[in-house]
Structure 1
């Protein structure tokens, strides 16, 4: 099988200027570059630029897929919508990382599985995942918990130190782990989250609010009406001064306290979750074996 690497970057909050597109052309002469995207597939060679630097400077989302099992998703959000202290409990090893620039927080989520699946023709993958960014910006931390579960399973394969698992605490458990959104299902698949581990984790997850994470016009109207007059005037002034792509994100952040699911403090250890997932997997396997096809009796 030949080498396969797929790189995709998306600019969401603002389009790239012509000068920025020319700067990116210096990174790759073969890439497809538009005012909102940079995509390229490699069957030999590699991207000459640094994806981390490209996200910090130009892009709000990055997807990377290889045929040797690497799945990587990077997301850049304005710092006022998601801060580093909120992300810190979900960081684990090199699989879930986060850092800040002067204006943004960057998440770096990675799944490695050399013997696992890979996505040939991955150009639809980022479109399925991009909704996770808006969910995080409006206070839904389920994507972070899913990334932590993925990292936990990978950590178990890489490190057999039982004492570390016993002392590794569970991060805050967001509401609604048993009822994921479509982007969250896509993220769980992309990061290869173990279904049994997720089922065990969801047992301690509060019920998600009945309201959708993306409020409707009917739900937004009273929330906006309740904003202080001075704050509404400031938002309208920003709108009147010209295009500001981040304005919508800022407003959703301001309203998110009334629409975001809550998170309960995690009180289980990594070892508890891994053992419970193993027990569930074993019990399900036993049930399936007992309910399997019975031998046909001799005539």
Structure 2
């Protein structure tokens, strides 16, 4: 990484995830990255004219997954390198957030005083991640409730968009010699890098205070995420209960309609039971027991239990040499 490669990804089936990036330090300033470092989970160092980033996630308690394709994972994530080079710091914030999110899986991940750590600068656009940033968040096991909680104060990208008039005024105030150097670099094929440097400097000089929301502590973020998770789970449980109640009511109505039709059928239903049993086929035995279950419910509804018991006793006696059928009656409680 220090000498040759721009990106590296590593996974192990015991729960270790690592992804690393190398960028020119004039495109991603090391002192900017330092704000987002969290021990070995988000680490950085400078080698020559490059800055190396190392994002790590551990989950030894999780289930082993032997189906990882590191190549496809890196392809999905590597786009964040270009985004970082262009001044988009969302990937750094996601890595910082995922690092402290590990505390919810491992209570020994940090010392108690880490509760008071204050979050780094909050980049805009956390509510609308790119595909690469989404893949990075998943790879680092960033909890969705924690991400939504953190993103609540992140300004939208539209709000953070550069004002062309402000940019023009800022450029006009640059020294002529500085602008000449930039133009020479553009002519030499460094247009993308020059644009990135200019925009980073412009934003650093002109970003209004309104786009710099108040910082929260790690404890604030984790506690609010836990509350959101509890509320969400309670809401989902209430929805499931309502849906189960609706389904039970629908089943009850369907059962009552079925019993009404069975009552109109009268003794013909018992004739159907005899016909099904006479086939000596297991599937027909099952159908006979289902029909008898409905007849039992109909007898209970009409307060005719004695008559039902008498007719079932006669069935048992008549078909006592059919153990498979008798066993089905026993299992059904008939």
CA distance in 1, matches of 2:76, 2:19: 12
Distance 1:278 1:146, change over 3 A: same
Q: 1:248 aligns with which of 192, 215, 226?
A: 192
CA distance in 2, matches of 1:149, 1:78: 24
2:58 maps to which residue?
112
Query: CA offset at residue 121 of structure 1?
Result: 2.1
Distance 1:127 1:259, change over 3 A: farther
Contact 2:153–2:213 at 8 Å: present in 1 too? no
SS at match of 1:110: strand
Deviation string for 1:21-70 (max 9, x for gaps)?
A: xxxxxxxxxxxxxxxxxxxxxxxxxxxxxxxxxx0111111111222222
Q: 2:77 aligns with which of 125, 129, 133?
A: 129
Contact 1:142–1:174 at 8 Å: present in 2 too? yes
CA distance in 1, matches of 2:17, 2:111: 27
Contact 1:162–1:271 at 8 Å: present in 2 too? no
Query: CA offset at residue 124 of structure 1?
Result: 1.7
Task: Identify which of structures 1 and 2 has the higher relative contact order when contacts are C-alpha pairs closer than 8 Å and 6+ apart.
Answer: 1
Deviating more after overlay: 232-241 vs 100-109 = 232-241
Would you say 1:191 and 2:135 are equivalent positions?
no
CA distance in 1, matches of 2:97, 2:139: 12
1:10 maps to which residue?
none
Q: TM-score when scaled to structure 2?
A: 0.61
1:140 maps to which residue?
88
Q: Give 5+ residue unaligned stretches, structure 2.
A: 256-334
1:79 maps to which residue?
25
Query: CA offset at residue 117 of structure 1?
Result: 6.5
Structure with greater strand percent: 1
SS at match of 1:71: strand
SS at match of 1:174: coil
CA distance in 2, matches of 1:81, 1:168: 27
Distance 1:284 1:73, change over 3 A: same
> Residues 4-153 of structure 1: matches in 2 within 5 Å?
55-114=1-60, 115-116=62-63, 118=65, 120-153=68-101
SS at match of 2:118: coil
> Residues 131-280 of structure 1: matches in 2 within 5 Å?
131-160=79-108, 163-209=112-158, 230-231=177-178, 233-235=180-182, 237-238=184-185, 248-257=192-201, 264=212, 266-280=214-228
Contact 2:186–2:194 at 8 Å: present in 1 too? no
Deviation string for 1:168-195 (max 9, x for gaps)?
A: 1111111111111121111111111100
Q: 1:288 aligns with which of 229, 233, 236?
A: 236
CA distance in 2, matches of 1:128, 1:258: 30
Query: CA offset at residue 81 of structure 1?
Result: 1.3
| Rg (Cα) greater in structure | 2
Deviation string for 1:124-165 (max 9, x for gaps)?
A: 222222221121112211111100111011134334567424
2:304 maps to which residue?
none
CA distance in 2, matches of 1:108, 1:290: 42
| RMSD (Å), alpha carbons | 3.2
Contact 1:171–1:265 at 8 Å: present in 2 too? no
